[in-house]
Structure 1
């Protein structure tokens, strides 16, 4: 095939064809180099419907695109914070990272942790199951108990924090519907240390299950809103979801919920979770939110394997932006999802939707790190009564909201039975405290969290609406203190969609705002980190195009020059036949 001929009328088209052909070959080689064989021989693979669902109109968590792209968790270590992980032929456990003596305790005490580890990283071989991140190493972060918080060793949260990227925590307090679990100072200090110093300053990623005491038919129904250990701004809170996209019957709900992953309800006969078990065995009976959290831990390990430069906040953003809250199956039964002003679907039961591992990994590979976090405070003090509670956020440098923390100090004989709804300046409603029938708290002093205003501009008036439940009333309520702490960043410094401040008309206020409240614009000193230089892909593209253009011009110039020389050569040959004084110097004819 002749692609180039100076005498051809299509010489320019030939040049373009050559260039495009070379570029196409390079792209093909790149694609081929990122394509991996995913032949799976693990004997229980056909039972892992949550990873590959062959049923019609059913969903899975879309892991195959990540595996086909050669992303399997290699280079990442996931710490299983539990009562111990037993050695297993289907697990790669790095005992160098053990926290506490791995040989203490009975074999049965290792059962829960061993099952969690299998969901995350069971090896790709011919044994039993395959984990979401089958290339990871498992670290055994053994704690004495998963329920006794006053003796909980918080060092587990920053143990080997430069080597362990993800801490998977499939435990929660045993909820009774009566007690409020605050975040103890030593626990918060441990999270701060991990998220500011872990992974070389990028921050350790903490994944938490949210509890199994949310059965609405139970008089002691509870909410993760009252458990600050699993719903604070340092962690990713995970909900369980069944194969038909319905909620696990006893799964807890709260405004801090971030993402949902597949699991099975207790006693499920079909669509169960299979994983590794003690004694080099497997089990089909792993369920509840304990099985959902390690699904997310494995997915995060894949994202960090694809892009190790992600901060722990980048991971949160990626989950928010790739999780599926728009699946048709969610339309069945109750409509749990609503859209906030940033056009994000969010739910107190499922967070931002079902985990989509393929989309998470693909987006992580091109993700630009978000700017450093900033915080704004706005307080309302000594408000008598509960008619209309407003907090005015003004002059806040944040234009993209991540987490909103609300501190309430309320004095009332039935303070624990009051439902509180927070309404953003854009009109997004979030139930930050649902109220509990058995909660006899008289003085509520609690900080709660919502992620449901993610992406919104926080400037403007925020409204709080209390509602007395279970036959109580709001008479005699004294709201002593309300504080909003908004965490986010200046959206203009990112590639994300930015919203202008909300335009609030009279309809937002059932009565005029009681007073102005000054906003203390501050930077979150505990979490601020200078932005790392990020690759400007637009500049790279422009440079590449410019180089191709220059090369093309050079080729065309050479072609033009050669054509001119060929013309002279033909003229010389013609003249040599008629001229007597042809030049006597040696002449090498040009091949034309």
Structure 2
């Protein structure tokens, strides 16, 4: 076996805990290699002739939606630019073949992998929706490492057609069990960005993934948000390299380049998402009956605490973190749990409009709005909580927002954004949290808005949407 993904697949670095990798080798030894599972990378193209990818390439789920006029099933990247290697990198992380003495080995090295070429110039809602649905009859897992620009200013997400495509994917995909959408949370942390303002990563339908250094710390670019489910080890720096007196070389992910060479410096949440997708392929081979929600439950129940501080525990006993989600993915724990997994009950949801609004948001003060969920609600096990709100404020980046559950669990759904000087506030924006996973929603909920500005604002409307089941 050629270990190209050193940090994540086989971390034997000095003074590093044995758990500071994906713990995937024992899973391979059990016989789970991704065989029978099909993945698709939605990106800038896929060089399927690449030595690491060719034997596992699946043409039936591949297409070029960047140029719809061509009606082309060839997902090859634009070779006029060396920058168009991103999708090929991600595909190799997921499913590069083993023992070919080339760059590395994929997490699910016997899985099939295809690709949709999407990211070429401006991308429309139609193109996104087609990419999210292409090959739905055969794809088990879609992996994507893109979204709004990570500049700490944007507030954007899927439009009407793409939103419908997500819903169609989790409803019709995998014969009704739902495809798994794995999404990178973004690399805008050093610019003060928050992935809850990325509507792709914060969708309830995506399994969003963040990055870890080889020491189990956050990477300097990691974005905080309450919608992140898990993290994986990709190497890199905890502090921005520009701030380091001595720029020590870190262990990173090895991937094939378009020119036949190997690159040993690929990282970021762009690497984290396909790595997680590879683990999920191993899990699906072990138990093909898992639904898209079962997979999220498995992550929540098996993810491991990392070395950093800032961990909290909710009233259901799950530890969670604003950056790491529920912790680092552990392939062996996930597969072991999946082998005897009982499918979770049918998803239920209900919507509750917040009363007592409009409400003024005073300068340099905390505004608290209380909402009561009564016992008639037929959910006693929460999965996702979504707060949709509209507010006016001329210094949007100086707001923080929290929701506090009836049991007292605090979830920060918005952090301050140092680069966000927009004066438009928020309009029907959905803030999602998984931090309340497993809790009972009955009781009094708090929505707390902290204004760190000398300007007043106004909360115009707010609605809670609770997703979960009744056990």
2:116 and 2:464 map into 1 onto residues whose CA distance is 35
Q: Residue in 2 aligned with 1:318?
A: 298
Could you state the TM-score of these two structures normalised by the residue count of structure 2?
0.88
Higher strand share: 2
- CA distance in structure 1 between the aligned counterparts of 2:212 and 2:395, rounded to whole angstroms: 33
Partner residue of 1:253? 224
Mapping of residues 149-160 of structure 1, within 5 Å: 152-160=127-135
Q: Secondary structure at the match of 1:388?
A: strand
Q: CA deviation at 1:179?
A: 2.2
Q: In the alignment, what sits opposite 1:346?
A: 320
Equivalent residue for 1:99, pick from 60, 63, 68: 63
Match of 1:451 in 2: 434
Contact 1:417 1:440 in 2 (8 A): no
CA distance in 1, matches of 2:322, 2:108: 27
**Partner of residue 439 from structure 1, selected from 415, 421, 428:** 421
Match of 2:259 in 1: 279
Distance change (3 Å), C-alpha of 1:272 and 1:147? farther
Counterparts in 2 of 1:156 and 1:457: CA distance versus 1, 3 Å = same
The one of 23, 38, 47 equivalent to 1:62 is 23
How far, CA to CA, are the matches of 1:297 and 1:125 in structure 2? 21
Give the Cα–Cα distance (whole angstroms) in 1 for the partners of residues 32 and 46 of structure 2: 25
**How many angstroms does 1:283 deviate by?**
1.3
Contact 2:189–2:223 (CA<8 Å) still a contact in 1?
A: yes
Alpha-carbon separation, structure 1, partners of 2:405 and 2:77: 50
Scaled by the length of structure 1, what TM-score is found? 0.71
Indicate the larger mover: 440-449 or 143-152: 143-152
Assess if the C-alpha contact under 8 Å between 1:401 and 1:488 holds in 2.
Answer: yes
- Asked if 1:132 is matched to 2:107, the reply is yes
Give unmatched runs, 5+ long, in structure 2. 65-73, 242-247, 362-366
Report the alpha carbon displacement of residue 288 of structure 1 after superposing the two structures with TM. 1.0
Which residue of structure 1 aligns with residue 51 of structure 2?
Answer: 89
Aligned to 2:117: 142
More off after superposition, 287-296 vs 272-281: 272-281
Which string of whole-angstrom CA distances, capped at 9 and with x for unpartnered residues, describes residues 368-403 of structure 1?
000000002111143433543011111211000000
* Whole-angstrom distance in 2 between the partners of 1:371 and 1:247: 34
Count of paired positions: 436
Task: Judge conservation of contact 1:84–1:141 (CA < 8 Å) in 2.
Answer: yes
1:468 aligns to 2:455 (yes or no): no
Give the deviation of 1:68 after TM superposition: 1.1
Tell me, yes or no, if the aligned pair for 1:416 and 1:442 is still in contact at 8 Å: no
Q: Higher mean Cα deviation, 85-94 or 356-365?
A: 85-94
Cα deviation 1:287-320 (Å, max 9, x = unaligned): 1111111110000000111111100000000011
Equivalent positions of 1:153-172 (< 5 A) are 153-172=128-147
Residue 277 of structure 1 and its aligned partner are, at CA, apart by 2.2
- Is it true that 1:191 corresponds to 2:162 in the alignment? no
Alignment of 1:509-588 (within 5 A): none
Q: Tell me by how many angstroms 1:64 deviates.
A: 1.4
What is the match of residue 35 of structure 2? 74
Q: Secondary structure at the match of 2:343?
A: coil
Shift of 1:468: 1.0
Task: Map 1:354-433; keep pairs closer than 5 Å.
Answer: 354-381=328-355, 382-386=357-361, 387-394=367-374, 395-433=376-414
- Gap change, CA 1:198 and 1:480, over 3 Å in 2: same
SS in 2 for 1:153: helix
1:81–1:140 contact (8 Å) kept in structure 2? yes
* Residues 102 and 412 (structure 1), Cα distance of their counterparts in 2 relative to 1, 3 Å cut: closer
Any conservation in 1 of the 2:210–2:269 contact (CA below 8 Å)? yes
Q: Is the 8 A contact 1:417 1:472 kept in 2?
A: no
Query: Which secondary structure does the structure 2 equivalent of 1:271 belong to?
Result: coil
| Distance in 1 of aligned mates of 2:76 and 2:410 | 49
**Aligned-partner Cα distance in 1 for 2:115–2:127:** 16
Q: Distance in 1 between matches of 2:459 and 2:250?
A: 49
> Per-residue deviation at 1:276?
2.3
Q: 1:351 to 1:125 in 2, by over 3 A?
A: same
- SS of residue in 1 equivalent to 2:354: strand
Closer, same or farther: CA 424–63 of 1 in aligned 2, 3 Å: same
Task: Name which one, 1 or 2, has greater alpha-carbon Rg.
Answer: 1
SS in 2 for 1:187: helix
2:70: which partner in 1? none
Query: 1 or 2, which has the higher helix percentage?
Result: 1
Structure-1 separation of matches of 2:77 and 2:24: 36
Give the secondary structure class of the aligned counterpart of 1:284. Answer: strand
Counterpart of 1:385 in 2: which secondary structure?
strand
What residue is the counterpart of 2:199 in the other structure?
A: 228
> Is the alpha carbon distance of 1:269 and 1:305 closer, same or farther for their aligned partners in structure 2, counting shifts above 3 Å?
same
Show CA shifts across 1:86-133 (max 9, x none). 121222111222111324622625411111111111111132311110
The higher-RCO structure (CA 8 Å, 6+ apart) is 2
